[in-house]
């Protein structure tokens, strides 16, 4: 599957998610895009909503956060008003990312956001964890015929199935499911990355990781388990502050993530039992059969005069049972590698 010009079957797509890490300053937003590119990101992701498109301005118990999060005590409206990326920035930011040869797309949170993103021709869409149950929105997104990436953080298996079915119902098979732990920040022990493999097997789709843990361990392990997409929150400088700073990586941390993921890809390599010249040379230090005491012509080979030792110039040790009991064709000096000619 391709996202823009990027083939995720050949290389893991690493996405830097800006989210609210811009301090409502477009200069910071653009510097963040440049820093993400310099850190090795393949793609940069925005979020497209306003406080009014995602919730309502209400201060009753339903709209005030009290769930053990870093945002407890705030209303949803207040949080999203601070966190949203101004819509008038989107085209400029995406054009800037494209100039840097960085794929740029977004998570829309309602149909008007999809319409905005279509107007600037985004190459893909991301459905956030908390929108995965909004089937009409998913159908609208999928109907645009572009890859749809889902975070699955709060979804049951049945709800994930509903979301996948919604995509397929409008003829869109370009589906990527990201294993996600919807805690901010998330604990490593809650990553449960084996779920990612099960998602691939269950739904026959590409899979990946939307990560909210600290550090790079979870993303690297996910590559070994088949992740083709990794998304991580990115911030230019943690001193900027903001609602997402505690689970965002700065430039150096993100570069460490990218380098570690690329090393993991190299380590996975391919199924290969071939012997390179270097491996063949190393085989000289493997075990083989040697004469370990002087043997006279006609003397019987036994476990005292023939042994499996290093180096590897003689017959394979698996033939010792065949050699023992046979007679030497001629005198053989200690330290001579055994060959079939000696019998």
Q: Tens digit of pLDDT per residue, the chain (343 long)?
A: 999 999 999 999 999 999 899 989 999 999 999 999 999 999 999 999 999 999 999 999 999 988 776 778 899 999 999 889 999 999 999 999 999 999 999 999 999 999 999 999 999 999 999 999 999 999 999 999 999 999 998 899 999 999 999 999 999 999 999 999 877 778 899 999 999 999 999 999 999 999 988 878 999 999 999 999 999 999 999 988 887 788 889 999 999 999 999 999 999 998 999 888 888 888 889 999 999 999 999 999 999 999 999 999 999 999 999 999 999 999 999 999 999 999 9
Q: How high is the pLDDT of residue 328?
A: 97
pLDDT given for residue 191 in this prediction? 93
| Residue 212 vs residues 31, 262, 301: alpha-carbon distances, Å | 22, 20, 66
Q: Select from 155, 164, 196 the least CA-distant residue to 179.
A: 196
pLDDT at residue 282, as a whole number: 84
Q: What is the pLDDT of residue 178?
A: 97
Tokens of 17: 């998610």
Cα–Cα distance measured from residue 269 to residue 260, given in angstroms and rounded to the nearest whole number: 14
Could you state, in order of their start, the residue ranges of all structural domains in the chain? 11-49+84-268, 277-342
User: For residues 174 and 142, is the Cβ–Cβ distance under 8 A?
Assistant: no
Task: Provide the 3-class DSSP secondary structure of residue 112.
Answer: helix
Q: In a 10 Å sphere around its CB, with 0-12 CB exposed, 13-18 middle and 19+ buried, how is residue 91 labelled? A: middle
3-state secondary structure 272-319: CCCCCHHHHHHHHHCCEEEECCCECCCCECCCCCEEEECCCCCCCHHH
Residue 148, CB-side half-sphere exposure with 13 Å CA sphere: 30
171: region left, alpha or beta (phi > 0 left; psi from -120 to 50 alpha): left
Domain range 11-49+84-268, its CATH number among 3.30.70.20, 2.30.40.10, 3.40.50.720, 3.20.20.70: 3.20.20.70
Alpha carbon of 88 to those of 26, 255, 331: distances in Å? 10, 30, 92
Token pair listed for 32: 């963040």
Where on the phi/psi map is residue 162: left (φ > 0), alpha (ψ -120 to 50), or beta? Answer: alpha
Neighbours of 114 (CB within 10 A): 20
Handedness of CA 262, 263, 268, 274 (dihedral sign): positive
DSSP state of 26: H
pLDDT score at 256 = 96
At 117 the pLDDT is 98
Which residue shows structure tokens 């956060």? 65
DSSP string across 227-276? -SEEEEEB-S-GGG--TTGGG-B-HHHHHHHHHHHHHHHHHH--------
State in words which class domain 277-342 has.
alpha beta
């Amino acid at each position: 599957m391709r996202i823009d010009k990027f083939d995720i079957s050949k290389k893991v797509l690493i996405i830097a998610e800006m989210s609210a890490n811009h301090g409502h300053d477009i200069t910071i937003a653009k510097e963040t895009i440049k820093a993400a590119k310099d850190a090795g990101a393949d793609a940069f992701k925005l979020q497209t909503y306003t406080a009014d498109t995602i919730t309502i301005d209400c201060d009753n118990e339903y709209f005030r956060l009290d769930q053990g999060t870093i945002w407890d005590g705030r209303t949803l409206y207040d949080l999203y008003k601070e966190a949203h990326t101004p819509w008038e920035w989107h085209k400029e930011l995406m054009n800037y990312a494209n100039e840097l040869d960085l794929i740029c797309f977004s998570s829309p949170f309602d149909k008007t956001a999809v319409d905005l993103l279509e107007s600037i021709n985004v190459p893909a869409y991301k459905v956030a964890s908390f929108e995965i149950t909004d089937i009409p929105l998913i159908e609208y997104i999928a109907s645009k015929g572009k890859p749809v990436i889902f975070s699955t953080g709060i979804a049951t298996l049945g709800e994930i199935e509903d979301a996948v079915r919604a995509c397929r119902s409008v003829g869109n098979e370009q589906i990527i499911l990201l294993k996600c732990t919807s805690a901010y920040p998330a604990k490593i022990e809650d990553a449960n990355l084996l779920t990612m493999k099960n998602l691939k097997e269950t739904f026959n789709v590409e899979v990946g990781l939307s990560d909210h843990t600290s550090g790079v361990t979870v993303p690297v392990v996910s590559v070994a388990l088949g992740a083709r997409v990794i998304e991580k929150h990115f911030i230019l400088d943690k001193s900027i502050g903001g609602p997402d700073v505690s689970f965002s990586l700065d430039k150096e941390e993100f570069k460490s993530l990218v380098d570690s993921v690329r090393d993991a890809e190299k380590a996975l390599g391919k199924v290969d039992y071939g012997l390179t010249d270097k491996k063949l040379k190393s085989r000289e230090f493997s075990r083989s059969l040697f004469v370990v005491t002087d043997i006279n012509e006609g003397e019987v080979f036994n476990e005292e005069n023939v042994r499996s030792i290093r180096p590897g110039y003689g017959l394979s040790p698996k033939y010792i049972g065949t050699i023992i009991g046979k007679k030497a064709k001629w005198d053989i000096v200690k330290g001579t590698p055994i060959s079939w000619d000696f019998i």
